[in-house]
Chains A and B, each alone.
Chain A
Amino acid sequence: MAHLCRELLLRASRVQPLYGRQRLCFPTRTVGSRTPRLAGLLTERPAQRRWTPLSVSTTERIEPDAGGSADEEPVVHILWINAGLSCDGDSIALTAATQPSIEEIVLGGLPGLPKVAVHWPLIDFESGPHQGADNFIEWFFKADRGELEPFVLVVEGSIPNEALKEEGYWCGFGNNPATGQPMTTSEWLDRLAPKATAILAAGTCATYGGIHAMAGNPTGAMGVADYLGWEWRSKAGLPIVNVPGCPVQPDNLSETILYLLYQVAGAAPTIPLDEMLRPTWLFGMTVHEGCDRAGYYEQGDFAVEYGSPKCLVKLGCWGPVVKCNVPKRGWINGVGGCPNVGGICIACTMPGFPDKFMPFMDEPPGSTVSTAASTAYGTLIRKLRGVTARTVDKEPEWRTPGREIKTGYRPTW
């Protein structure tokens, strides 16, 4: 633990916290001047360095004006909007995460975490009426009024195009006090995006549009980056952070939240993202590269019926071209997954999902050539390996009872 704390302090000394205009007062120090530039996406930030102390406490009830007084530890608010066109599956996925779990994040169970207040419809304690006490949506209005600083905005669900029609709404979250009508999700984005320290798009709907943006959809749905613009940067200079997956793999989401919290607190460098704004360490490899059935592919041994333990490419698996770590990470606590347990990869993490991969149960067109090559090569390899395999599957011949020793040893007795 001591080592980890030291490591975090060392890293903190190299990186930039993202607390907005530094209304918050907490121990600071200025060191060095090197500012990391990652993924070529960020501009240089001023050379001021800060770090937060590692004492984390979230046990007291935080009042709505928390974060403003001079001697208080800063609170990072997480505002979660689940009212895009979604199924709430990414909220549910977060409750499945164990590395870390949501309760570990909220209770400060990891070193170096800032104090966190999560405003999350799925399990929020608050559920009072607008006209009474404990009105959940009030936190979002506070953020809109600039009274929450800093906050990370998590968006779940795709953003429909509200401009396609004369009136009404495709989706909303609470009411617009001016009209008494539902406040559309896109209006919330318009209001909160300029004030957010970071925006995290959770799941394929929010990242790229996903299933609700399928051809023929009536709502004109799109991802958050499509709506705000791919060049959008938060006031702290951070692009949208995309964690795709339908739903998102639980630990991929909780780990990214953890990373962002460290970054916001100044304890981690800028999150490394690829050109589609995915964390590089999570989405840098293909399903196939992490799949424990890839050996069958190499040997040209393909399943022709579901239920087989062999490679599923000919049954519709898109693993060879899909960026996703699920076969390696499993689904929950290492259990489950897709092709590793018998499910074709339908490419649910990909920007082209779902249209470019349908019909899902047909062999991907590009795989016919590659599997033909692998069949030719793999059949030979399989035969040769068969010879070796039969040899190594037998014990050496000297392991026998009897009065004679056959190991090569010469008895001295």
Chain B
Amino acid sequence: MTMTDPTREAVPDQTGELTEMSWDPITRIVGSLGIYTKIDFKAKRVAQCYSTSSIFRGYSIFMKGKDPRDSHFITSRICGICGDNHATCSVYAQNMAYGVQPPALGEWMINLGEAAEYMFDHNIYQENLVGVDYCEKMVAETNPGVLDKANNTESPHASEHGYRTIGDIMRSLNPLEGEFYREALQVSRTTREMFCLMEGRHVHPSTLYPGGIGTVASVQVFTDYLSRLMRYVEFMKRVVPMHDDLFDFFYDALPGYEKVGQRRTLLGCWGSFQDPEHCDFRYETMSDWGRKMFVTPGVVVDGKLVTTDLVDINLGIRILLGSSFYDDWVGQETFVDRDPLGNPVDARHPWNQHTLPRPQKRDFDNNYSWVMSPRWFDGKDHLALDTGGGPIARLWSTALANLVDIGYVKATGNSVVINLPKTATKPEASFEWKIPSPERGSNALERNRARTYFQAYAAACALHFIEQALAEIRAGHTKTWEPFKVPDEAIGCGFTEAVRGVLSHHMVIRGGKIANYHPYPPTPWNASVRDTYGTPGPYEDAVQNTPIFEENPPERFKGIDIMRAVRSFDPCLPCGVHMYLGDGKTLRTMHSPTGNGITPAS
């Protein structure tokens, strides 16, 4: 049943030449993730990897019996960087359960808020968290030869972004001291202002409701948004070519780098940005309106688009317990045995899940994490889909589906074209994200590259949404919210893309109260553990067999290649990675930190 590429299977610890190394917690992600690995230093590769989350909060438990209208306020608190994605997804699920369709203007405004979230979140993560792995200070400490080469390599797109050499780009990414690092941090604030113009507060919105949005739709709110958006569009005209130069350089400077973080292409995307002309939030029509989303939902396996149907996607979700700290719910009540179309719903589907925590010691030979193992059943196999951190799956699915064409963005069948208009100091520009070559596939650098392109994609979509919103206002349609009643008995589901990937919410209402609620954010997919069939989760899979390019000996080992692999998924959850080093000895614990938090180095 193993779904991973057989050539990337974990290597059993038979030779005794593997050495343990662990990162717990991993910094520069959201939440606490631990990664535990065994490394073969002679062969310069990671032999085995386990990821673990050390936090349990119990949302699905304490939401039971609560008023369903509270669910978006509550579930927003699941995540502190993309909580609004949860609120939005919950509102989608509630709209379905209550049978309410927001006014078009309300939907455009939610789309604008969510677009701002992508623009903000990908920006801060890429430049202030991931970017540090590629900055001069880091590269100097892990691969000095690469830095020398970078300093002597002209940037192919220097005229577009202003950094003459790749070394200059790396210096600009140095924490706090780097000019671009500071600029990006500032951009993360103006984009959050854009977000707050629509959804009130970041990161837990104040103005989102089932039925629409409470923001007062004046011309002013759109002017304020648009002014900031155009500055961001101008920013992206520098950022896209700059990151292309940086990532292309790594392939060039370190031949074989495409293997870092590489994994079989098993990507899921649940779609993003509703089109109010088509979306009525009814389950019965979900297949149709799902395909009208401005990011097309889809499952991509080995480069092939398996489906774009949200009903298929919904029914295929399975929650396996695997090596996690929960009791099985076999024999417990089934809440939903048929979906509204009459299709059977599996007992392991989120609608029917029961969360039964069983706190216990962490044991890597048995149970070792609070993360379960979501899988997608294609009728034959339980696929360990990942999200690639979000953008690569969204762009890949949208490109292959070839359904989106709004001028500002256009799918072509094998790429996505992003057209940005003239801005204050730069002419119009067009960028094309292309599906990576099979040699590169879904790997660390391509996940990162897609992130930058998707920032531009979200900005381009926002241009479309603001035009639509202003057209509504100019036509006198200023209503943003539609009243509704909470039924006694109902079910609902919501699908969207959290910043770092697939997000679903499943709710069951009985007696006017929440009887069951199970959210599935991207990180449980990515950080999932070895499942019932022994299939490792995506982080584990992607880190295993990652080659080591770092030049440091084990005593001074940072594990930069592993960190790049893990961070490319944009982890957003408490977890960990353990590693084992070669020569058959476990390294002595060393206490020699040489950095000092975010205080810059001299």
Contacts and interface: CB of A to CB of B under 8 A. Distances in A.
Do chains A and B stick together as partners? Answer: yes
Contacts of A218: 58, 61-62, 357
A342 B479 CA distance: 13
Interface string A134-167: 1111110100000000000000000000000111
B361 interface: yes
Given A92-B81, A123-B128, A214-B62, A129 B57 contact: no
B214 A134 contact: no
A52 to B, nearest CB: 17
B200 A343 contact: yes
A338 interface: yes
A354 interface: yes
Interface stretch (A235-243, A261-269, A300-308): A300-308
B197 A336 contact: yes
B137 A343 contact: no
B558 interface: yes
A305 B67 contact: no
Contacts of B325: 168
Contacts of B480: 306-307
A243 B138 CA distance: 34
Contacts of A62: 596, 599
Nearest to B196: A336
Contacts of B137: 125
B176 interface: yes
Contacts of A53: none
B201 A107 contact: no
Contact of A122 (B21, B30, B213, B586): B30
A199 interface: no
Contacts of B554: 131-132
Interface string A326-338: 1000111101111
A148 to B, nearest CB: 11
B77 A336 contact: no
A167 B593 contact: no
A64 B593 contact: yes
Contact of A173 (B54, B192, B581, B601): B54
Nearest to A142: B591
A28 interface: no
B124 interface: yes
Interface in B68-102: 69-70, 73-74, 77-81, 83
A123 B21 contact: no
A361 B69 contact: yes
A359 B69 CA distance: 7
A169 B58 CA distance: 13
A96 B185 CA distance: 8
A83 B574 contact: yes
A85 B557 contact: no
A364 interface: no
Nearest to B600: A59
Nearest to B560: A127
B463 to A, nearest CB: 20
A332 B202 contact: yes
Contacts of B241: none
B175 A132 contact: no
A1 B595 CA distance: 32
Interface string B181-224: 01001001100110111011111111101011111110000001
Interface stretch (A113-121, A270-278, A385-393): A113-121
Contacts of A116: 599
Contact of B204 (A129, A247, A344, A361): A247
A130 B200 CA distance: 41
B365 interface: no
A106 B594 contact: no
B558 A127 contact: yes
Interface string A275-313: 000000000000000000000000000000111110010
Contacts of B78: 87
Nearest to B360: A168
B107 interface: no
A40 B227 CA distance: 49
B540 interface: no
A129 B25 contact: no
Contact of B557 (A129, A336, A348): A129
Contacts of B361: 167-168, 181
A178 to B, nearest CB: 13
A87 B80 contact: yes
B593 A138 contact: yes
A129 B579 contact: yes
Contacts of A127: 23, 26-28, 558-559, 563
Contacts of B360: 167-168
A208 interface: no
B181 to A, nearest CB: 9
Contacts of B54: 83, 169, 171-173, 182
B173 to A, nearest CB: 11
A367 interface: no
Contacts of A125: 27, 132, 137-138, 175, 595, 597-598
Contacts of B209: 306, 361
Nearest to A337: B200
Nearest to B228: A335
A98 interface: yes
B252 interface: no
A15 to B, nearest CB: 26
A277 to B, nearest CB: 22
A170 B599 contact: no
B207 A343 contact: yes
A103 interface: yes
B15 interface: no
A82 interface: yes
Contacts of B51: none
B28 A122 contact: yes
A73 interface: no
A123 B28 contact: yes
B216 A331 contact: no
Interface centre among A61, A330, A335, A337 (most CB of B within 10 A): A335
A343 B214 contact: yes
Contacts of B592: 133
A214 to B, nearest CB: 5
A326 B201 CA distance: 10
Interface centre among B27, B79, B211 (most CB of A within 10 A): B27
Interface centre among A59, A87, A166, A216 (most CB of B within 10 A): A87
Nearest to A79: B597
Interface in A78-104: 78, 82-83, 85-93, 95-96, 98, 101-103
Contact of A126 (B77, B217, B593): B593
A132 B215 contact: no
A219 interface: yes
A120 B213 CA distance: 35
B56 interface: yes
A59 B74 CA distance: 42
B597 A117 contact: yes
A216 B64 CA distance: 8
A182 B362 contact: yes
Contacts of B429: none
A341 interface: yes
Q: Shortest 6 CB-CB distances between A and B: which pairs?
A: A343-B206, A336-B196, A89-B80, A168-B359, A87-B80, A132-B557
Interface of A: 58-64, 66, 78, 82-83, 85-93, 95-96, 98, 101-103, 106-107, 116-139, 141, 165-175, 177, 181-182, 210-212, 214-219, 221, 246-247, 305-309, 312, 326, 330-333, 335-339, 341-346, 348, 354, 358-361
16 contacts: A78-B597, A88-B81, A89-B83, A107-B600, A123-B28, A132-B552, A132-B559, A134-B558, A138-B593, A246-B77, A246-B204, A306-B211, A307-B478, A331-B196, A359-B66, A360-B73
